[in-house]
Amino acid sequence: MEQWSEKLNVPLPDCAKCGVCCLCATPSVSYKKLLEKAAKGDKFARDFFSIFVPYKNIDEARKISGEIVDKTIKSCEDGTNDIPVEELVFYRCRHYHFTEKCLVYENRPELCRFFPDSPFTILHENCAFYNWAKECKKNYNKLKDKIEKLKECKKELENMKEQKRLEELYRRIKTLKDDKYKFMMLVPSLCIVSPASSWLRKPGS
């Protein structure tokens, strides 16, 4: 998240410790794929399973944060999230206490320390990073628009250069009196420099 803040010039807020990310989390991959990653030694997957336990079903998670559940389901339905709705699993942290908050705060894994890792993470409105994410996305879209405009300008400049080249070619052709020299300038790929009367390449040459 620090990289996003630096690149998009949006200051990082302090965590409000609302606990939503601890009590209603869902990674960007399905439960099955996350298990496969953990089995292969993936650090994120192993860290995730070391602190998070799944809810029995979506309705159980919705009682904790209906907003996060509904936003996540919508992201699956509109294609933003690659996980099918029927494969969605929500999790809660086994170390979160409703009054004492995080019981392993000083030793929490990187996935907690650097949450959210992107402004495109689904966040609750009570999360301190909610407005941060909105500003980051707004600046990101502005930057994206600037890049597109620069691409258009580059294309326009290339077209202008090509137009200038053709105008110069036309000017030079107009000064020529011999048609075979005009042909040579128009289609140089079919011609060779030769004192012979024909400027066309011979087959196999």
Residue 194: predicted pLDDT: 47
Q: What does the pLDDT read at residue 199?
A: 46
User: Looking at residue 182, what is its pLDDT?
Assistant: 60
- Residues 6 or more apart whose CB falls under 8 angstroms from that of 46 comprise 38
Please give the pLDDT value at position 166: 78
The predicted pLDDT at position 54 comes to 94
Is residue 103 a contact partner of residue 97, using CB atoms and an 8 Å limit? Answer: yes
User: What is the per-residue pLDDT for 201?
Assistant: 47
Task: Give the span between the Cα atoms of 118 and 27, in whole angstroms.
Answer: 12
pLDDT for 183 equals 61
Three-state secondary structure string covering 126-151 = CCCHHHHHHHHHHHHHHHHHHHHHHH
What pLDDT is attached to residue 97?
87
Q: What is the pLDDT of residue 49?
A: 92
Q: Write out residues in the chain with pLDDT < 70, as ranges.
A: 176-205
The tens digit of pLDDT for each residue in 98-134 reads: 888 889 888 888 888 889 988 999 999 989 999 999 9
pLDDT attached to residue 187? 61
The rounded distance, in Å, linking the Cα atoms of 150 and 34 is: 40
Q: How far is CA 17 from the centre of its chain?
A: 28
